[in-house]
Amino acid sequence: MFEALGNIGDFLGGVGVLVTLLYLASQIRQNSQSVRNAAAESVFQALIANIQTAASSPQLARVIALGQSDIESLTEDERAQFILWMYGWFRMLERAYVHYRAGYVDEGEWKGHEQNLASVMRSDAVQRWWAARKLYFGPEFASYVNSLDLSDAVLSTAEVATSIADPGGAA
């Protein structure tokens, strides 16, 4: 009788351990998903902050727009600013792309960033910048950027600025 009760106790103890392990596995999985979501969100917050910085600085906005449309008109310091800004922007997009590929970023949300990237890549200056610096980025992201179809891209920042300034113009 005591042996049977001992066996039942061992069995219930084993079930308790199993339930505890399953619970812990579930908690770890939920925590991992939360960490991934937070990482993806931080990348997008950085992208938004980058855009807000450019939007709140007329000088930087000018450098970015001219860097894409007429980089030769920029001073040496402004060209350096444009090059550094592009590097930071591409680096943030690379992080976002990594999160997208890992499944942490929604397809629809990524497509908006992809369109933005393609529109910026329409610029000859950006294409020259990319050709000179693509080795600074991971091979998967570099291959992705190189494969973008620019024919369907929306207007670049410089083209939008030109069309707003001259609504009857060619852009």
What average pLDDT does the structure give for the chain?
82
Nearest alpha-carbon partner for 125 in 65, 80, 68? 68
What backbone phi and psi angles, to 5 degrees, belong to 123?
A: -70, 130
**pLDDT tens-digit profile of 105-142?**
888 888 988 998 999 999 889 999 999 999 999 999 99
Helix (H, G, I), strand (E, B) or coil at 104: coil
**For residue 98, pLDDT beyond 80:** yes
How many percent of the chain have pLDDT more than 70? 83
pLDDT at 157: 57
Whether 60 contacts 85, CB under 8 Å: yes
Between 41 and 64, whose confidence is greater?
64
Among residues 72, 86, 74, 80, which one has the least CA distance to residue 117?
Answer: 86
Q: What is residue 130's predicted lDDT score, i.e. its pLDDT? A: 96
Long-range contacts at 55-61 (CB < 8 A, ≥ 24 apart): 60/85
Averaged over 75-96, what is the pLDDT? Answer: 94
Position 160 pLDDT exceeds 70: no
Tokens of 55: 């939007």
At 171, the pLDDT band (50, 70, 90 cuts) reads: very low
What is the phi/psi pair of residue 137, to 5°? -110, 165
> Which has more confidence, 47 or 116?
116
155 pLDDT band, cuts 50/70/90, is low
Using CA atoms in the order 118, 168, 165, 126, what is the torsion angle rounded to 10 degrees? Answer: 20
Average pLDDT over residues 40-59: 83
pLDDT-based confidence at residue 46 (cuts at 50, 70, 90): confident
What pLDDT is stored for residue 133 in this prediction?
A: 95
Using CA atoms in the order 150, 155, 158, 163, what is the torsion angle rounded to 10 degrees? 150
Q: Rounded CA gap, 101 and 50, in Å?
A: 22
Inter-residue contact 121 to 145 (CB < 8 Å): yes
Say if residues 59 and 112 touch (Cβ distance below 8 Å): no
